[in-house]
Amino acid sequence: MKLYYAPASSYSQRVLIALYEKKANFTPIEVNLFDPQAREEYMQINHFAKIPTLMTEKENVIFEANIIIEYLDQKFQNTSRLIPADPEQALEVRMLERTIDVYINGGREALFADTQRPVEERGKKEVLKAKRLLETALALLDEKLASRTWLGGEEFTIADCAAAPTLAYLRMVYNYNHFSNLTNYVKRLESRPSVAQVFNLGRDQMTKMLSELRNPLQLVPLES
């Protein structure tokens, strides 16, 4: 298998976490979408020019991070499942993953975009709505985590793969320390070997990107 990715991309990171959880053998291929030639070459593999993309041993191309993780769950069935076999549990972790994607990641993007506007244009209605939905989603996760080690229960799942990079990037624009269960959960995430390995992998690119920007808030993680 080959994984086309960018180390600082939160969607690449969730797939990498899944690959490390599965202890899968794969070839990582870093893609620089900011380089015109590299982007053009990559579009021969993924016409949408989004990352990550997985190419299987049969050279089937799979894109969209959560679809890739579902493929990995099907392929490596002798490892811990990232999507539970129980239908009700599977629905819950999928719902939690979508909550993270739509409301938390969406809210993060809205808050980030707001920081790039002139001060007098900030805090408009749509931003306040995104922030409200973000805080509602964070409160939901915090409540779930009152009695759970991971978002879906005692087993690490696709929801946790999504949460790790999303919550890490969220801290750039929103402090959620007042959600104590969530804050403790993030500490558990960061100490999990698969997550720590991915975060270490992306740190060099993140540091380089930050050093090239005058304002750190200009940083935009590459997304799928």
Q: Lowest-confidence range among 20-34, 39-53, 62-76, 206-220?
A: 206-220
Domain ranges of the chain: 87-192
Task: Return the amino acid letter for 48.
Answer: F
- Mean pLDDT over each residue of the chain, to the nearest integer: 90
End-to-end CA distance of the chain: 19
Q: Lowest-confidence range among 65-69, 169-173, 188-192?
A: 169-173
Task: Return the amino acid letter for 109.
Answer: E
Supply the pTM of this predicted model: 0.89
Residue 44 in tokens: 């021969």
Mean predicted confidence (pLDDT) in 172-190 = 96
- CB within 8 A of 101, min separation 6: which ones? 162, 166
Give the class (CATH, top level) of 87-192.
Answer: mainly alpha
Give the three-state DSSP class for 2: strand
Q: How far is CA 74 from CA 17, 67, 85, 187, in A?
A: 16, 11, 11, 29
What whole-number percentage of the chain has pLDDT above 90? 80
Nearest to 159 by CA among 104, 222, 100, 88: 100
